[in-house]
Amino acid sequence: MASSKLFPLVTFSSILFLTIFSLLISPSLAVDVPLSTPLPSETICNSTPHPSYCKSVLPHKSANVYDLGRFSVQQSLLQSKSLLDLLENDLQGRRSSLTLPAIQALEDCHFLASLNIDFLSHSLGTIGQSSNVLPSSDADDVQTLLSAILTNQQTCADGLNSLTTVHNDLIIPLSNGTNLYSVSLALFTKGWVPKGRRNNVIPNQSNKHLNFRKGRLSLKMSSKARAVYDSVINQRRHLLQAGDNEVVVKDIVVVSQDGSGNFTTINDAITAAPNNSVASDGYFLIYITTGVYQEYVSISSKKKYLLMIGDGINQTIITGNHSVGDGWTTFNSPTFTVAAQGFVAVNITFQNTAGPSKGQAVAVRNDGDLSVFYSCSFDAYQDTLYTHSMRQFYRECDIYGTVDFIFGNAAVVFQNCNIYPRRPLQGQSNTITAQGRTDVNQNTGISIQNCTVTAAADLASSSFSVKNYLGRPWKEYSRTIFMQGFIDSFIEPAGWLAWNGDFALSTLYYAEYNNRGPGSNTSNRVTWPGYHVIGATDAANFTVSNFILGDNWLPQTEVPYTGGLI
């Protein structure tokens, strides 16, 4: 509690004085005080997840939430830069004495710390100009970045946990950084995020179709490549239909293994894409013809607004086999990674063929904000699809896997997808989701709407019994919703599986709404405090329009979607 010596520092009307006095006695009343009101920093810290740490970092004076929030984000930026320096020193000074797993884990942390510096700089640029509640779209942008910063920090810590020689040197900086980022997110949420911003659902925004305007083409294409491209457009009129709206295509290149296109590898085509495009310029389209592409593809954060179209599921296949079992980190095992904003993929299969005995082996890791996968397939076993961070949308996709095969801490909606648990190792259970939300203020979670959950052929014909669950809580505030979908009978009546004892059972948020099928009966579901059978009002918060504010960015892609409840 703040000392009474603080009172003479500011002048209040008698009513406001009594309000502040009451607030100091009961910090929960802070919601009743205008956000611009100066309060002791100790009082404002009580509304964060880490009050003691907050009080040790923020200046001991009276200020409003905006001034303290800006200070916290500035300190977070300094902390990120300090961590990056420590990681660089470790990599440069100790590389020769480190094991390969330690080097990879440090490199993951270095990459994530550099992202955090970019995200914090961008966030500071937004809140530095405002001492008021932001418009919903701007607030969601910054909350997404600050949520991703915490996710990146947690991913770094997870990768170092088993590496004692490295982890001991970094445990305090990592812990302090996590606490500070959490304080920054809490203060931003309190000051800048509009209350109830996710409750304006637009129902039944759907029936949109892709079509392309081949305009402003600047890259030269051979006549043969042009013929290939024109052929695919003509063949795919069921997908690329004419309509009222058009997807603007800035440039087009063709990838074909037979040499008929501009490139024979996907990575070469990505290299040719411009850096830091903006949405209004249109997409750089990479058309990938039929073939099996044995490549590890990475779309860096500079390659914004790429559109990749293949010849169809199981026709255009991108494949690899990196795994934790073979010495890779989970974060670096993916066949395909996305870090760029505005990425769209259509008609492609992404594989990791390491197999169930190799442990974590990711087909796709996605950190691309405002990214879309439409009519794609994700094919692996444990940890198939790593929806790591940012805002994502998946429509009419097929997802195959065993343990935790949709996981991560993005704000993500799966709509009209097919989810196929497959046969794991004998003795293993299948868990479809493992959501990784670590902080109550993160705007993240997995929303699965109007999807079909059925057993893959190898699981359906398995010679041994397998227990199958909708998910388990990877992190403390894990959040997953299944709604308006079909769940087949092979899902256990309890529905959900504990991670370890009672960990997260009261802090998680797991919910089901209006599902159908023999596995959708909720009468014998878990009785955890964090599990809920919800109604339409709560379910609406996890729709495309509300949960990922899809109406602000999906129309440009022309990918079909339903904004509200179906």
pLDDT per residue as tens digits for the range 326-344: 999 999 999 999 999 999 9
360 and 313 share a domain?
yes
What is the tally of structural domains in the chain? 2
pLDDT in tens, 205-255: 444 445 554 443 334 445 555 565 565 555 443 334 434 457 788 899 999
**What is the share, in percent, of the chain residues with pLDDT greater than 70?**
85
* pLDDT surpasses 60 at 503: yes
471: β partners: 433, 496
Q: Which of 230-244, 390-404, 519-533 has the lowest mean pLDDT?
A: 230-244
What average pLDDT does the segment 12-41 reach? 56
Phi then psi dihedrals of residue 51, to 5 deg:
-60, -45
365 pLDDT band, cuts 50/70/90, is: very high
Same domain membership, residue 273 and residue 181: no
Reported as a single tens digit per residue, the pLDDT across 269-306 is: 999 999 999 998 899 999 999 999 999 999 999 999 99
Taking a C-beta distance cutoff of 8 angstroms, is the pair 513, 536 a contact?
Answer: yes
Average pLDDT over the chain reads 88
Give the separation between CA 314 and CA 530, rounded to whole angstroms: 39
In the three-class reduction of DSSP (H, G, I as helix; E, B as strand; rest coil), residue 395 is classed as strand
Give whole-number Cα distances, 277 to 144, 301, 551, in Å: 20, 11, 21
Query: What is the pLDDT at residue 16?
Result: 41
- Strand order in 247-255's β-sheet? 212-214, 247-255, 283-288, 306-310, 344-346, 371-374, 391-395, 411-415, 445-449, 479-483, 509-513, 531-533
pLDDT of residue 495: 98
CATH number of domain containing 130: 1.20.140.40
pLDDT greater at residue 442 or residue 232? 442
CA distances to 322, 349, 350, 379, 403 from 312, in Å:
24, 8, 11, 14, 26
* pLDDT average, residue stretch 529-545: 98
Residues 410 and 530 in one domain: yes
pLDDT higher than threshold 70 for residue 108? yes
Token pair of 25, please?
Answer: 């006695």
Give the pLDDT confidence score for residue 225 in this predicted structure: 52
CB of 294 closer than 8 Å to CB of 272:
no
Structure tokens at 11: 């002048």
**Residue 174 pLDDT level (bands cut at 50, 70, 90):** very high
- Residues 473-486 have pLDDT tens digits of 999 999 999 999 99
- Note whether residue 182 is domain-resident: yes
Q: Is the pLDDT of residue 8 over 90?
A: no
**C-alpha closest to that of 318 among 302, 298, 301:** 298
- The residue among 122, 157, 192 that closes a domain is 192
From residue 378, alpha-carbon distances to 110, 247, 359, 362, 421 in Å are 28, 25, 17, 9, 12
Q: Residues with catalytic annotation?
A: 404
Task: Record the tokens describing residue 107, joined without a space.
Answer: 């490199």
* The two three-digit tokens of residue 452, written as one number: 């079909």
Instruction: Tokens for 34, please give them.
Output: 């205008």
pLDDT value of residue 226? 57
Assess whether 304 and 401 both reside in one domain. yes
CA distance 105 to 324: 12
**71 is in which domain, residue-wise?**
39-192
Distance CA 496, CA 531 (A): 9
Calpha distance 34→19 (Å, rounded): 11
Q: Are residues 143 and 240 in the same domain?
A: no
Residue 229 lies in a domain: yes
**Average pLDDT of span 96-112:** 91
**CA–CA gap between residue 22 and residue 4 (Å, rounded):** 13
Cβ–Cβ under 8 Å, residues 289 and 316: yes
Structure-block tokens of residue 558: 């022309």
Residue 208 covered by a domain: no
Contacts with 234 (C-beta within 8 Å, 6 or more apart), sequence order: none
Residues 281 and 153 in one domain: no
Q: Are residues 154 and 276 in the same domain?
A: no
Of 6-10, 97-101, 333-337, 473-477, which gets the smallest average pLDDT?
6-10
User: What is the phi-psi region of residue 370: left when phi exceeds 0, alpha when psi lies from -120 to 50, beta otherwise?
Assistant: left
Instruction: Examine residue 21 and state whether it is found in any structural domain, yes or no.
Output: no
List strand residue ranges (DSSP E) for 92-134, in order.
none
Contact 144, 112 (CB under 8 A): no
Helices (H) and strands (E) in the chain, counts: 12, 29
Of the residues 175, 192, 209, the one at which a domain ends: 192
Check residue 220 and give its pLDDT: 43
Distance from C-alpha of 253 to C-alpha of 539, rounded to nearest angstrom: 42
pLDDT higher than 90, residue 184: yes
pLDDT at 536 over 60: yes
Q: Tell me, yes or no, whether 19 lies in a domain.
A: no
Confidence tier at 162 by pLDDT (50, 70, 90): confident
User: Model-level pTM?
Assistant: 0.90
The candidate with the shortest Cα–Cα distance to 442, out of 77, 55, 148, 103, is 148
d(CA 180, CA 474): 22
Q: What is the mean pLDDT of residues 427-438?
A: 98
Assess contact for 345 and 308: CB atoms under 8 A.
yes
pLDDT for 479: 98
Q: Of 535, 455, 524, 448, whose CA–CA distance to 485 is shortest?
A: 448
Residue that wins the pLDDT comparison between 101 and 151: 151
Q: Is the pLDDT of residue 124 over 50?
A: yes
Q: Are residues 151 and 237 in the same domain?
A: no
> Are the C-beta atoms of 480 and 448 separated by less than 8 Å?
yes
Q: Decide if pLDDT at 24 tops 60.
A: no
Domain match, 176 and 246 both: no
Where is 68: in which H helix or E strand? Answer: helix 65-94
Q: Are residues 173 and 274 in the same domain?
A: no
Is residue 564, in this structure, part of any structural domain at all?
Answer: no
pLDDT of residue 310: 95
- The CATH number covering residue 528 comes to 2.160.20.10
